[in-house]
Amino acid sequence: MTVSPSTSMLQATLRADGFAFVAGDVMRGMLDGASMDDWPAFAASWNDLAPDTYLAATGRRRRRRHATFSIGPEGRLQRESHQPHFQSLQHNPLQGDIQRWFRPISPALADGTSLRRIIEFGYQLFAPLAPDNRHWHVETHQFRIEASAGEAGEPTPEGVHRDGVDYVLVLLIDRQNIESGTTTIHADDGGLLGSFTLTHPLDAALVDDARVSHGVTAVTAFDPALPAHRDVLVVTFKAAT
């Protein structure tokens, strides 16, 4: 029997270690999956992602969509107008210092129960860790990483990195015909602090981005003759200026 951690227990783990892994069955309970009534459509939307045209090297097949939200002092979640994703070269040496415009997550899904509940969970978990942050800038990214015969997929082509935010929530949606894709967590000196693999739907990685770096190893297809992909939702939380 799996014992579900409380939010306070997860916060204590993040304070102590800078990261945490949560199994999918536990996350489902913490998210109250019964309230996420658009989940089938939300999960299916990964089949409608657009190619990432900003990849710095050819042969890396990644699809994605993006949406931006804000959360004010009262905890009210608001979807913002479509805008670019920006990272500095310090945090993304491959694609930094440029405004990257990705296809938006559809308004119906961005305003739907699943995505909003996931964001609310992240806010309830992370905000008490930074009580001086009154306004939050939240970005949501749908990613599909594909692998094929003789060609691995790269979830983090920039390597071990920081996202340049305060906190990161990575949620596995699906993986088909995929092996590897191990998440690694690193200290400032590059030392390995921990590793785990998101293998089941709703398996989650929680990261204090200011304290630790993270990366994901390349994914390969079990059967090269069949389609292979790894689908994740990444939600980042950053103190708004």
The parent domain of residue 147 ranges over 7-239
Contact partners, residue 128, CB within 8 Å, separation at least 6: 11
∠ CA 122-124-125, nearest 5°, is 65
Residue 2 lies in a domain: no
Residue 23 lies in a domain: yes
Contact partners, residue 3, CB within 8 Å, separation at least 6: none
Residue 1 lies in a domain: no
Residue 39 lies in a domain: yes
d(CA 67, CA 237): 13
pTM of the model: 0.90
- Among the listed residues 27, 237, 235, 20, the one whose alpha carbon sits nearest the alpha carbon of residue 130: 237
Q: What is the number of domains present in the chain? A: 1
Per-residue pLDDT of the chain (241 residues; tens, 9 = 90+): 345 578 999 999 999 999 999 999 999 999 986 689 999 999 999 999 988 776 655 445 788 999 999 999 989 999 998 888 665 555 555 554 476 778 899 999 999 999 999 999 999 999 999 999 989 999 999 999 998 877 888 877 778 888 999 999 999 999 999 999 999 999 999 999 999 999 999 999 999 999 999 999 999 999 989 999 999 999 999 998 6
Q: Do the Cβ atoms of 193 and 186 come closer than 8 Å?
A: yes
**Quick one: pLDDT at residue 35?**
83
Residue 196 lies in a domain: yes
Residue 49 lies in a domain: yes
Residue 209 lies in a domain: yes
**Quick one: pLDDT at residue 44?**
97
Residue 14 lies in a domain: yes
CATH code, 170: 2.60.120.620
**Quick one: pLDDT at residue 59?**
41
